Structure 1
Amino acid sequence: MLTVELKKLFQPLLLLVALMITIVYYNQQLNFIHTYWPNGGLVPIYDHASDWQDRFGQSLEKEDIAVVEDEYLTLVEQADNILLENAIAEQLELKNYADFESWYKENLPSVAINEMDEDEKEIVEKIDAIQQDLIDYTGQSIEDKIVALQTLYLSIEQFDSSDTFLMNEHYTVKEREILSANLFMEEGWRNILPTYLSSTVSGYFESILTLLIFLLSLLISSVFVRDRLLGLQKLQWSSRHGRNILWTQFVSGMIASFLLITCIVGLFWGLLYLTDFTQYFSNGLNSFFIRDDEPLLVSLFQWTFGEWIIKLVLLVYLIGMAYSGILIFLSQTSKHYLSLLMKIIPVGFIFIAIANRVFKDAFYLKNDLYQWTNISLVELYVGILLFVLCIGLPIIYCIHQRNKDLVN
């Protein structure tokens, strides 16, 4: 009976539709981390992280920071020499890079290009001309490198004094105690982990779970309703095995859901190994790369980046299997497809909203669920609670319906 029920769930046409949905969803949502990240101002910062990872290992020690500082001063000196020979800089009386930086901040127009007057357009043209001279022989901007290093130095300065860092009003007394050990006694802040890499990866797994919600809704729920409409359950009840049909459907539905989740997670987790993010899998979660305006992007846990990703995979399984349980319950209690659809739509959106709260900066202080509850590992507890509740519903229904059928 179990194999028969499993065969019903693997319908070639629906699997083809699911494949098309997966391809479209990948191109619309999941492709970003593989194709477009990092982008903008994160590119030079990520380049520095990769370079330091190759040269210094998983963390920056004091002597490494001194080497980086020398390289920074060399870049500034190089920019100073370029500006001394630049005609526009000479006309504006900009004698070094510091002068250009100050003039740039004071004069950069704050309006869109199509709203600029002639004077503002002229300023933009002068800025562009100077910035073109600040491109080295490799085609990279010296200015971008300097700005990236300045940003990272500001981040490093946050950790110069543990007392100053931990007195941030965003941290509770308990959090200060744990962060004092993780960041300073264990020197966890020295880890190299690029800015927003963890936020981007957690968003990636949130999108995977959202895709699974769509696929599970398509592949799992309608089969059991169809059996009811065709009257198969009444025919099956005439046999000894058929009297356990609800249990068989529950088990087959959970097995099929587990296999589907494994395939999707395996596929997209495997794609991460085609990126160069793998070089950071052994690095710690906390890092001096956090921005000074993001004080909550620190973690209470001394996990490696790879161990943290495993926790995200576990959350995908817990919430995905929980959604499978609620789908089986809804399909067993729906009389027709329309009734099932009207139930699945709101439940699906509720699970997507839960996924957003659970996965957004998961296991960091910034996570919304943690901010509401101040409970460590609250993301994992929510996943376990959902799993128990949603698996319990179809189990209770199976017991109740079997007893009812036996009485009748």
Structure 2
Amino acid sequence: MRKRRLKSLFKKIRRKMHYWDWMIAGPYIILSCLGIVMVYSASAGIQMQNGQRPLSYLIRQLIYVLMGLVVFILFSSVRLDKLRNPGFLRWFFRILLVLLIVVRVHGAAINGAHGWLHLGFFNIQPAEVCKLFLILYLANQFAHVSERGLSYKSAQAWKPTILLGVLLLLIIIQPDIGGFTINATIAIVIVLASGIPLSISLSVLGLGVFMLAFGVPTMAHVFVGHIHNYQAARFVAFIDPFQHARGIGSQLVNSYYAISNGGFHGAGLGNSIQKMGYLPEPNTDFIMSIIAEELGLIGVTIILVLLATIILHTVRLGVKTHSMYEALVCYGVGAFISVETLFNIGGVLGLLPITGVTFPFISYGGSSMLVLCASIGLVENISIRRKREQIRKNLDQVYE
């Protein structure tokens, strides 16, 4: 019985793969493969210096990419109404809430933030999972209000506010400034795209801009500064990193050196100097500095073009679809990838404070990879549905 179900599932997945949108799947696969290569290049040298296996990060990243591909295929094949099921969303919220509480109380502290739960081989970061939940939940909630013709002043429309506040509070007290900002941005984009009245939209937008521009830095200095000095110091160091070149500013200073060494053509794959102990975390937060040093401006540009292809195609799909739910999912995923990219690049270039945000599909990490793959799997799912509907319409017109 199980074999029959598995065979039926694989047949269904194979059929859907014929309709894959390669403007999404193609860049995603290329970026993931490039990420495997660059994680190995960025980590092998320092691993050997420390007497550890040079292939350890390569093997783990390869496993994460393969797991991500499975997640991508599953989310591109699942029926969207199952993801909109209230029971599923309730359980998703409960599990996420427990994870966020547990990670704050018992999570491993890295750079002053309690953001990771160690589960043997795999470390889970609940703030990453929250991004996927907010896309699914808020898209369903506002689409439900629109589809039922309910008032936006009703309890149904404002119910997400309390839930969102609880989740964001649990993320900021870890403290995870980057995770808080990205999750808040996803929520703001979905709310503004949901068609709520202009007065409410402007209020939400104003609050969002205030929080991003003033609230987060203030909380970091006032609240976080007393408890987690490392996080607060990051906001101070980025203003003049060379003043703190031997301390908290060393990451940004060495990032500048890496970018300068790379120039236009790059020093060549594997030839980075800064990854050899000068630049901390070269395979995660600062992997784009290593790419800039080894592959140069050309390599960085190719990566950004591939990411821009996914983002623009996702937004375009959201504009073209006639389903409010599908449109909001697309806008949420587009915002997720865009802000994560901007925060990582901004941190590497010193245009934004370093917040520990990874670069999509390239940086080492399991939680980030799986959540990103699930998110673009949703977009692929929507694209497949649009294609199949268009084919049915064309066939109906032929037979009429």
**TM-score relative to the length of structure 2:** 0.27
Q: Flag the structure with larger Rg.
A: 1
TM-score of the superposition, structure 1-length normalised?
Answer: 0.27
